[in-house]
Amino acid sequence: MNPPKIKKRVGKYEVGRTIGEGTFAKVKFARNSETGEPVALKILDKDKVLKHKMAEQIRREVATMKLIKHPHVVRLYEVMGSKTKIYIVLEFVTGGELFDKIVNHGRMREDEARKYFQQLINTVDYCHSRGVYHRDLKPENLLLDASGNLKVSDFGLSALSQQVRDDGLLHTACGTPNYVAPEVLNDQGYDGATADLWSCGVILFVLLAGYLPFDDSNVISLYKKISCADYTCPPWLSFGVRKLITRILDPNPMTRITVSEILEDEWFRKNYKPPVFDEKEETNLDDVEAVFKDSEEYHVTEKTEEQPVAMNAFELISMSKGLNLGNLFDEEFKRETRFTSKCPANEIISKIEEAVKPLGFDVRKKNYKMRLENVKAGRKGNLNVATQVFQVAPSLHMVEVRKAKGDTLEFHKFYKNLSTSLEDVVWKTEDDMQAK
């Protein structure tokens, strides 16, 4: 079976699979055909940007992000435009989310949490000094590079991930209120720097405790807890870090600790080594201006060609931790995962559909892709899951399962249920059989 696949090129970039989705943007894996370097390609729809009157804001923030060259911020390399799309070329970060470490291994020891917190505060301080505020800091926006160092994503581009309501307006209290400062929830104007610091304090708490300081299924009760900083530190935290968390999670932004005060804190300063990097590299903003002036002479070339969905060895290895394709689940849980099967593609699709309907999911199918949507809303709206069947060999398929929208922990639970239902579909190697 050879389901069709569209191979796409944008300028010098070969565009691959989808690795993330947001309200305005889709993020795809891509490769620079001149250098072979992998990148993440954020694709924005021009009509949506214009409809919501966001062009000037995005232009300003993209230009600012090009100037940010901090080792702990995901780099923005260039911007391109076509007649209908804006393409933002970003550094491709391979170490997954910091959130995954908490899901997999629980809370961190203080030394490990302190290292990530030091990198986060150094990054926040650098960006704030240049007038750039994140506004949506949370573990899912904190990535890790191949060396295990922090990479903050969407710094300065957070407006792209905020929710647009029916009135077409952006509303600041976006998808994850658990991390949002009380003054942001009050919706009476706020200082971006002190609001970001509050989110850093919640992140530090989560790293050390393994759970949220403010959590309640009732949104009104949650807001009340945040507004009066109603939380309890777990007993295993040292006195030094308790004191620091208390000063960060101060509901009054006027008396909340500042970055300069954090940098002097005794607990924070232990083994602190700020990164050394060269800021003198020149940055050209001509591409940003060209894209947002929308001049046809600067439009990037888009090419598509139809070919069978065959996955070559390089793609397969880049998507897998190793060559043991029999594993149903990676030991490390992420927002996307995959398994292999010797069943025909149509049978795989049918089995997935059969498995998810009792779990309360609506199913949409097209060209061996499926979109699964939970009819019941969860903590962050309705969980959406995207799946696609790839052909590795004539009798071997790989199935990718990815969270498109909703809560990561709910996706984790969904995937566990799915695995139980698909045991007879997944290809098991001889090693897997002997392990049983």
For the full predicted model, state whether its pTM sits above 0.85: no
Among 53, 71, 92, identify where a domain stops: 92
CATH number of the domain to which 56 belongs: 3.30.200.20
pLDDT one-digit tens code per residue, 295-353: 666 677 777 654 434 555 545 545 554 333 334 333 344 577 788 888 888 888 888 99
Per the annotation, binding residues are 42
Alpha carbons 163 and 24: distance in angstroms, whole number: 9
State residue 295's pLDDT score: 66
Strand, helix or coil for residue 10: strand
pLDDT of residue 267: 97
Per-residue pLDDT tens over the stretch 198-211: 999 999 999 999 99
Domain count of the fold of the chain: 3
Residues 201 and 116 in one domain: yes
In the chain, the largest separation of any two C-alpha atoms, in whole Å, equals 65
Provide mean pLDDT across the span 79-104.
Answer: 87
Are the CB atoms for 304 and 8 separated by under 8 Å? Answer: yes
pLDDT recorded at residue 244:
97
Residues 145 and 238 grouped into a single domain: yes
- Long-range contacts (CB closer than 8 Å, 24 or more residues apart) made by 350-357: 351/421, 351/422, 351/425, 352/387, 352/399, 352/418, 352/422, 354/421, 355/417, 355/418, 355/421, 355/422, 356/385, 356/418
Sign for the CA dihedral angle at 251, 252, 255, 261 comes to: positive
Residues in the chain: 436
Write the pLDDT tens digit of every residue in 21-53: 766 778 888 999 889 899 999 998 888 877 777
Give CA–CA dist 240/203, Å, rounded.
Answer: 17
Same domain? 132 vs 260: yes
Say how far apart CA 433 and CA 436 lie, in whole Å. Answer: 5
Most confidently predicted of 121-125, 299-303, 400-404, 418-422: 121-125
The CA distance from 226 to 251, in Å, is 8
Burial class (CB in 10 A: 0-12, 13-18, 19+), 71: middle
Residues 143 and 220 in one domain: yes
Q: Are 156 and 134 in contact (CB under 8 A)?
A: yes
| Type and span of the H or E element at 366 | strand 361-366
pLDDT band of 176, cuts 50, 70, 90: low
Question: Band of the pLDDT at 103, cuts 50, 70, 90?
Answer: confident
Amino acid in the structure at residue 266: E
Q: Does residue 371 lie in a domain region?
A: yes
Flag the least confident range among 29-43, 317-331, 380-394, 401-415. Answer: 317-331
How open is the CA angle 403-407-408, to the nearest 5 degrees? 60
292 occurs within a structural domain: no
Task: Kindly give, in sequence order, each residue whose CB lies less than 8 Å from that of residue 211, ignoring residues fewer than 6 positions away.
Answer: none
Q: Looking at the structure, do residues 82 and 159 belong to the same domain, yes or no? A: no
The question of whether 136 is a catalytic residue gets the answer yes
> Residue 3: inside a domain, yes or no?
no
Neighbour-count burial for 97-118, b at 16+ CB within 10 Å, e otherwise? bbbbbbbeeebbebeebbbbbb
- Give a yes or no: residue 282 inside a domain: no
Binding residues for ATP: 42
Residue 312 three-state SS = coil
Q: Which residues contact 23 (CB under 8 A, 6 or more apart)?
A: 160, 161, 162, 163, 164
Choose one of 239, 269, 299: the last residue of a domain. 269
Q: Does any domain span residue 56?
A: yes
Amino acid at position 89, single letter: V
Give the end of a domain, one of 219, 246, 269. 269
Whether 120 and 212 map to the same domain: the answer is: yes
* Domain extent for 50: 8-92
- Which of 274, 177, 173 shows the shortest CA–CA distance to 218? 177
Q: What's the burial of 282, exposed, middle or buried (CB within 10 Å: 0-12/13-18/19+)?
A: exposed
Q: Tell me, what's the pLDDT at 327? A: 40
CB–CB of 49/58 below 8 Å? yes
> Is the same domain home to 72 and 106?
no
Interatomic CA distance for residues 54 and 43, integer angstroms: 15
User: What pLDDT, on a 0 to 100 scale, did the predictor assign at position 319?
Assistant: 54
Q: What percent of the chain clears pLDDT 70, i.e. is strictly above it?
A: 81
Instruction: Give yes or no: residues 146 and 229 share one domain.
Output: yes
Mean pLDDT confidence for 141-159: 82
Considering the domain architecture, whether residues 118 and 251 belong to the same structural domain is answered as yes
Residue of 100, 136, 196, 250 marked active site: 136
Residue 279 CA to residue 69 CA, distance in Å, equals 7
Indicate the average pLDDT of the chain. 80
CATH number of residue 353's parent domain: 3.30.310.80
